[in-house]
Amino acid sequence: MNRRNETNVSDFILLGLTDSNEIQLVLFNLFLLIYLVTVLGNAGMILIIRLDLQLHTPMYFFLSHLSFLDLSYSTVITPKTLENLLTSTKHISFGGCFSQMYFFIFMAGIECFLLSSMAYDRYVAICKPLQYPVIMSTALCCSLITASCMIGFIDSTATVLGMSTLHFCKSNVIHHFFCDTAPVLALSCTDTRNVEIIVFVLAGSTLVASLIIVSVSYVSVLSAILKINSTSGKRKAFSTCASHLLGVTIFYASMIFTYLKPSRSYSLGKDQVASVFYTIVIPMLNPLIYSLRNKEVKNAFLRVMQKRGITRNFR
């Protein structure tokens, strides 16, 4: 209550990506298309994995959670962005802004360690194939998901609690298309150094720790693949982790570019482009990457369609 009494700002204005009406209309159509593909792709991936018993393995257990996460992740950001592209006010309430920030950080933290869990799964599958069913048990898979959620919860709660101690009594215009930490920090009329340290340490430790797990796992995987004598064996082993490696590279590159640097290095144009990638584009790309490059998913899709007689209707 004391913070609210001392804070003059009751809502924020999300300035967005551009002030040109023509470009806003183009972006609206583009982002709407991306969002529809995101919803259909991720929902379809979840449904196929759930319906096809052959995909009830640890790899697809993690992939179904990644699809749910990407679907939720995109829904936190994209609908409000689409609304603001069509309206002139572009308002978001104080509570709405901090809620958006909370759930964005929560899901980003989960995704980091979910990708690490998927990398570890590929390491066990390729480097310890005989022990795979024992190591990647249902209990371990559920524990890894729970741990990822706990890390996301800690990151988001600590960050938003720190941000809530700040006062906003000057401009309420956020130079971004969603309530990210750096542009909101820039609006505070109080000293933000302690909060900046909290944000940097939490984001940095989450990204670095998960990236180390991914890197160590894939160095071991690549080392094991290179020891395979046959070319076809190498190709088959590499194909099982190529999709995940591509998704990981895109996600971490954009996140590291944005968050592993001091807030004074915040660059409006460059950071917004990176933000579009990891909030809007990547949730769409993941189901495409994992389905188009994965024969098991394609075959599972055909089996599901055949069971329901849909493929016969097309013939």
Domain residue ranges of the chain, discontinuous segments joined by +: 2-314
- Which residues of the chain, if any, have pLDDT below 70? 1-8, 233, 236-237, 240, 259-270, 291-296, 298-301, 304, 307-315
What confidence score (pLDDT) does residue 308 get? 62
| 68-118 pLDDT, tens digit each | 999 998 999 999 999 999 888 888 998 999 999 999 999 999 999 999 999
- Nearest by Cα to 285 from 259, 240, 254, 256: 254
What confidence score (pLDDT) does residue 4 get? 44
Residue 303's SS3 state is helix
Instruction: Tell me the HSE value of 232 on the side-chain side, using a 13 A CA sphere.
Output: 0
Radius of gyration of the chain (CA): 21
What architecture is the 2-314 domain classified under in CATH? Up-down Bundle (1.20)
